[in-house]
Structure 1
């Protein structure tokens, strides 16, 4: 299994640099690093039907984040628009930390994950048995459990220090607020699978491009909804 340690170290270096400069992009990346660590633990503990496949997916998924980030750092308007929105908002003081986090999650899940699944599954789908296809989807869904376990720690250790009022909400609502976020992300990921599947089964490149562009428009619309109170 390919080591993810270099990527985790890259995440840590970037977080440290951004913390020192007061760059708000550290918020999402800190949460993403925690999720990546928890995914690695789940893979090592054989929580998935095919740990090697999930590891490959995890690697490729992270690549999309870093490619978009490097594009944004080099020439911002070359990066995917949904990441432009997320990274622009990350350094603004009038955007709440919870909004910054959700903007990053929206970009990475609703856009990047569609492309990741298409890249990985388009190459193998036709040759997979029905049982293997079911296992791929089951492993995709099982990630939701890791996300759910991660959300409470993210709220307590990352969001609350950045947004103290959230601790009051947590006391009032208990685990209900984490449940709502988990349900939201699980709903997004279900739509992601359907969107990706509608792409990877196609041979017509024009039709594939049309659907990908629609996915991008929908993700941008979600980003604007997240920031609708700005």
Structure 2
């Protein structure tokens, strides 16, 4: 699928969520999170919160198409970027818990796709005009992550165990240091925006390898985190369709926590 605008991105994600729900496909977990972020970005565009709403529509469309391309490549022949193959390759693994599926999607989309989309939206020196709007999305992400965290907590009653063993708090696990990752993505976007085609290919190869390594660390953590995740997996909901529905309605719930922005 290929989106022409942000409305197409929302519709494409909604289609993946619906199909995943019918098929019991865990691809719907990240798609549900991503759909809600995109809806919030679209709302911010309509409210005039960005410096350049039309530019942000283009940016979000480039960003969404990176995900759709990876999703389609995986469905077609198990292809696509390494980091997305790591994420999609665990969709049939019942031992991978809900929050890990979310982290794997966030990892690939922010640590690889975000820089590419930003550089394509603002090539050359034009990238610098995108900075403020790029940062504003951090607040939108924070708000959605908090709401989705409530859903994950309801679906995974032992998520708090990760606090007690000294891992990141449950919110920070799902947060995945989003602000830091987006700051690195901005640096890479500026780099890509000023490179020629050969240089960009080399940079993308490096980013994909690094992001795939991060995916493997998230999928197979060491130390006490591993048995904690096993306990979480043994107690969280295994009804994939119900989990997708719950995650996809996180922002619609009256209890959804409101963050900055």
Give 5+ residue unaligned stretches, structure 1: 171-175
1:51 corresponding residue in structure 2 = 53
2:216 corresponding residue in structure 1 = 224
Cα distance in 2, alignment partners of residues 9 and 208 from structure 1: 30
TM-superposed deviation, 1:139: 0.9
- Judged with a 3 Å threshold, the aligned counterparts in structure 2 of structure 1 residues 72 and 44 are, in CA distance, closer, same or farther, namely same
Cα distance in 2, alignment partners of residues 70 and 28 from structure 1: 15
2:240 corresponding residue in structure 1 = none
Q: TM-score, normalised by structure 2?
A: 0.74
**Greater Cα offset, 26-35 or 78-87:** 78-87
1:212 to 195, 204, 214: 204
Query: How do residues 21-40 of structure 1 correspond to structure 2 at under 5 angstroms?
Result: 21-40=23-42
Cα distance in 1, alignment partners of residues 94 and 107 from structure 2: 20
- Judged with a 3 Å threshold, the aligned counterparts in structure 2 of structure 1 residues 161 and 177 are, in CA distance, closer, same or farther, namely closer
1:141 corresponding residue in structure 2 = 135
Q: What SS does structure 2 have at the residue aligned with 1:46? A: coil
Cα distance in 1, alignment partners of residues 136 and 216 from structure 2: 29
State whether residues 5 and 61 of structure 2, in contact with CA within 8 Å, keep that contact through their aligned partners in structure 1.
no
Cα distance in 1, alignment partners of residues 25 and 119 from structure 2: 32
1:156 corresponding residue in structure 2 = 150
Query: How do residues 1-230 of structure 1 correspond to structure 2 at under 5 angstroms?
Result: 4-76=6-78, 78-122=79-123, 125-126=124-125, 128=126, 133=128, 135-157=129-151, 159-166=152-159, 177-178=170-171, 181-182=174-175, 184-203=177-196, 205-229=197-221
Give the paired residue count. Answer: 214
List per-residue Cα deviations over 1:59-109 (Å, max 9, x = no partner).
110011111111111110x21111111111122111111111000001111
List per-residue Cα deviations over 1:170-209 (Å, max 9, x = no partner).
9xxxxx7536754700100100111121122123x33322
TM-superposed deviation, 1:36: 0.6
Cα distance in 2, alignment partners of residues 178 and 46 from structure 1: 29
- Judged with a 3 Å threshold, the aligned counterparts in structure 2 of structure 1 residues 54 and 142 are, in CA distance, closer, same or farther, namely same
Asked which structure has the greater RCO (Cα within 8 Å, sep 6+), the reply is 2
- Judged with a 3 Å threshold, the aligned counterparts in structure 2 of structure 1 residues 207 and 14 are, in CA distance, closer, same or farther, namely closer
- Judged with a 3 Å threshold, the aligned counterparts in structure 2 of structure 1 residues 143 and 160 are, in CA distance, closer, same or farther, namely same
Give 5+ residue unaligned stretches, structure 2: 164-168, 227-261
- Judged with a 3 Å threshold, the aligned counterparts in structure 2 of structure 1 residues 149 and 191 are, in CA distance, closer, same or farther, namely same
**CA root-mean-square deviation:** 2.3
